[in-house]
Amino acid sequence: MSTSVPVVDRGAKPSGGNPRFFRRLLRRPVAIVCCAYLAVLVGVAIVAPIAMPSVNSQNAGDLFGANQLPSWSHLLGTDTLGRDVLSRLLVGDRVTLVGVVEALVVVLVLAVPLGLAAGYLGGWTDRVVTWLADLTFSLPAVVIIIVVLSVFPTSMLAGMATFGVIAAPGLMRVVRSATLPIREELYIKAAEASGLSRTYILTRHILPRIAGVVIVQASLLAAVALGVQTGLAFLKLLVADPAPSWGGMVADGTSVLLLHPWLIIPPGATIAVTMLALSLLGDAVRDAAVESWSAPVRTKRAAAKAAPASAGTTPPAGALLTVQHLSVSFPGREQDVRVVEDVSFDVAAGEIVGIVGESGCGKSVTAAAIVGLLPGSGRIDGGSIWFGGKDLARASEAELRKVRGRTIAFVSQEPMVSLDPAYRVGFQIEEALRRHRGLSRAAARDRALELLRDMHFVDPGAVARRYPHELSGGMAQRVAIARALAGEPELLIADEPTTALDVTVQAEILELIRELQMTRQMAVLVVTHDWGVVADLCDRVVVMYAGQIVERSDVQSIFDTPLHPYTEGLLASNPHLEPEAATLPMIPGTVPPPGSWPAGCRFSARCRYAVAACAELEVAIEAPYQGHETRCIRYGQLIKA
């Protein structure tokens, strides 16, 4: 069950090595510019030494015209021995690029197969390869390369190949750690279960998946190799005079730095621009590879909030929380996409209300919107959220911070990741207590232990000392609830609090929530997809479908007499109620995703009671009975059946 924010064009997880990837890459102007520049470099590398064959062996030019600044005859000036800087730069391109390529080839040839083998085969292979890599990693690269170069003086192949060998473990580690999760992917297991050979799986399944990672690392590595090559050339260890190289030209310039500072600029600038191009390309490649992921959460709310059309200005009396005509949208490719539309419900003090629906109906987004916790790109674009006399939909971040944790608390689905893994859980509860209650350290510690005892922990002290990864799922969820209660909230929003837990643990948590409701008169808003949880916990129920509320009632009525075909169909297809039957009654079709909601009733395409009128007009919520509302014009049929 996905409770994450729906993104309109949700693509697959990062892929690499297929044609779509290159198309995505080339859509970015940055990538095009960099590729073009590098192509030019390659072209020059091939052509220049052929077009200007004398430059490589030119010991000196016109000595009287040495150290000249740029002029028409020498576009970049002349160096200390009177040679033309521009032609030396162009000819030196080949040497530089060849060095980079040599290093890259060595690294790739070593790292990719070894990394794949270590990651996929595991066991001894993994241990041996990792140990070798650790050893190589700890070698002092500088010493080794310089010594190798003294054995093979001015042999660029030796120098760059040595660098390649020393840099290979880095890439190997990356390949290995990219392979490990892929190995656990279920389609690999399915392929193995189908009897496909290991070579096939490695080359056809795993290699394409890590291609993206390898390409990114390779482009970054190319930049590093360029740095190493130019550095070694600068030390005059790599290229024999008088052949030009960019690093060597910088060295030449440095020797006359104080008198003629211009000379180091052309080669230095060329090196810098090339490195820039390689780094930018690496970034672009990486962005293209993971493009289909949704945007990360921003720390601050979206700055501008458009004033919603139908805004109430006075808070309604009575309920603790009143949500009126709430709408939430997320930015899509071309325009904003509504994910939640016209949602209204309220929660009275001390009451448990459940929002039920399937994935993509917008229930989690609704819950998050109440405390202003939409992922950075989402915004409330309509309606109000009345709580404590204030409209939270219009409140500033500062005002919301006063509410969060203090009067409204939040507990989410995955307890193991909702606590900070770096701190002990007791500390995290104390932190909340000190923030909301202003307690001293000692008082906070005592109160934290009290809270843990309320959560039915037998030894609260021992639990408080643990880190989140040392707790089981049920324990972590209870700790999360304890932290949420630190501020003595009036309303607890629980987003799928038991979905990730075992059945027996789930029962404990449900009982705990009920107990909290009774002892603290705390209202609870539960978001769930499990009708059993609804039956156990809730006083009233709100059913959502495709971003809208389709039914609202007290809990018994919704089970006894559902007044919306979706609710009815959902309840009927629950296998709990049809243990013996051969076929479960089912709802045909699938939910329309946000962005493609039909006009008229959104469920009509799948509804067995639908008539023509259903698809034409938007349906408003009506209340055929006191306390039981439905968004269906055909509810009469359900009562008859």
Q: Which residues ranging from 414 to 453 are in contact with another protein (CB under 8 A)? A: 414, 417-423, 431-432, 435-436
Beta strand 628-630 with 491-495: parallel, antiparallel or unpaired?
unpaired
Number of residues engaging another protein in binding (CB under 8 A): 160
Q: Which stretch binds another protein (CB under 8 A): 100-108, 117-125, 263-271, 381-389?
A: 263-271
Listed in sequence order, the residues at least 6 apart from 17 whose beta carbon sits closer than 8 Å to its beta carbon are: 207, 208, 209, 211, 212
Dihedrals φ, ψ of 293, to 5°? -75, 155
Residue 51 CB, nearest distance to another protein (Å)? 27
Q: Which residue in 307, 581, 599, 612 binds another protein (CB under 8 A)?
A: 581
Q: Are 567 and 553 in contact (CB under 8 A)?
A: no
Told to check if 547 binds another protein by CB under 8 A, we report no
Closest Cα to residue 323, out of 552, 576, 69?
552
Q: Which residue in 63, 69, 272, 349 binds another protein (CB under 8 A)?
A: 272
Of residues 234 and 386, the one with the C-beta less far from another protein: 234
Q: Which residue in 50, 151, 306, 612 binds another protein (CB under 8 A)?
A: 151
Q: Which stretch binds another protein (CB under 8 A): 60-68, 101-109, 120-128, 475-483?
A: 475-483
Q: Which stretch binds another protein (CB under 8 A): 81-89, 148-156, 331-339, 379-387?
A: 148-156
Residue 64 CB, nearest distance to another protein (Å)? 25
Residues numbered 589 to 628 that lie near another protein (CB under 8 A) are 590-591
Distance CA 542, CA 555 (A): 9
Told to check if 126 binds another protein by CB under 8 A, we report no
Told to check if 199 binds another protein by CB under 8 A, we report no
The residue written with tokens 């140990």 in the block is 131
Told to check if 25 binds another protein by CB under 8 A, we report no
Q: Which residue in 215, 280, 339, 563 binds another protein (CB under 8 A)?
A: 280
Of residues 58 and 373, the one with the C-beta less far from another protein: 373
Q: Which stretch binds another protein (CB under 8 A): 34-42, 55-63, 264-272, 316-324?
A: 264-272
Residues numbered 203 to 232 that lie near another protein (CB under 8 A) are 204-205, 208-209, 223-224, 227-228, 230-231
Residue 62 CB, nearest distance to another protein (Å)? 25
Told to check if 377 binds another protein by CB under 8 A, we report no
Element spanning 526, H or E: strand 523-528
The residue written with tokens 């408080």 in the block is 464
Q: Are 85 and 79 in contact (CB under 8 A)?
A: yes
Told to check if 555 binds another protein by CB under 8 A, we report yes
Told to check if 244 binds another protein by CB under 8 A, we report no
Residues numbered 488 to 517 that lie near another protein (CB under 8 A) are 502-508, 510-511
Residues numbered 43 to 102 that lie near another protein (CB under 8 A) are none
Cross-strand partners of 125: none
Q: Which residue in 51, 105, 128, 190 binds another protein (CB under 8 A)?
A: 190
Told to check if 35 binds another protein by CB under 8 A, we report no
Q: Which stretch binds another protein (CB under 8 A): 104-112, 445-453, 454-462, 515-523?
A: 454-462
Listed in sequence order, the residues at least 6 apart from 352 whose beta carbon sits closer than 8 Å to its beta carbon are: 513, 514, 517, 523, 524, 525, 526, 537, 538, 539, 540
Q: Binding mask 379-418 vs another protein (x if CB under 8 A, - otherwise)? A: ----------------------x-xxxx--xx-x-x--xx
Q: Could you report how far apart the first and last alpha carbons of the chain are, in Å? A: 31
Q: Which residue in 529, 628, 631, 634 binds another protein (CB under 8 A)?
A: 529
Cross-strand partners of 214: none
Distance CA 631, CA 621 (A): 4
Of residues 58 and 434, the one with the C-beta less far from another protein: 434
The residue written with tokens 């006075």 in the block is 314
Distance CA 235, CA 248 (A): 7
Residues numbered 289 to 328 that lie near another protein (CB under 8 A) are 292, 296-300
Q: Which stretch binds another protein (CB under 8 A): 40-48, 69-77, 83-91, 202-210?
A: 202-210
Of residues 91 and 280, the one with the C-beta less far from another protein: 280
Reduce the DSSP state of residue 16 to 3 states and report it.
coil
Cβ-based neighbour number of residue 192 at 10 Å: 14
Distance CA 365, CA 239 (A): 62
The residue written with tokens 């390369």 in the block is 145
Residue 555 CB, nearest distance to another protein (Å)? 5
Element spanning 328, H or E: strand 321-331
Q: What is the separation of C-alpha 434 from the centre of its chain, rounded to a whole number of angstroms?
A: 31
Distance CA 96, CA 240 (A): 13
What's the DSSP call for residue 78? B
Q: Are 592 and 602 in contact (CB under 8 A)?
A: yes
Q: Which residue in 76, 110, 339, 587 binds another protein (CB under 8 A)?
A: 587
Residue 233 CB, nearest distance to another protein (Å)? 10
Q: Are 180 and 121 in contact (CB under 8 A)?
A: no
Bond before 242 cis per omega within 30 degrees: yes
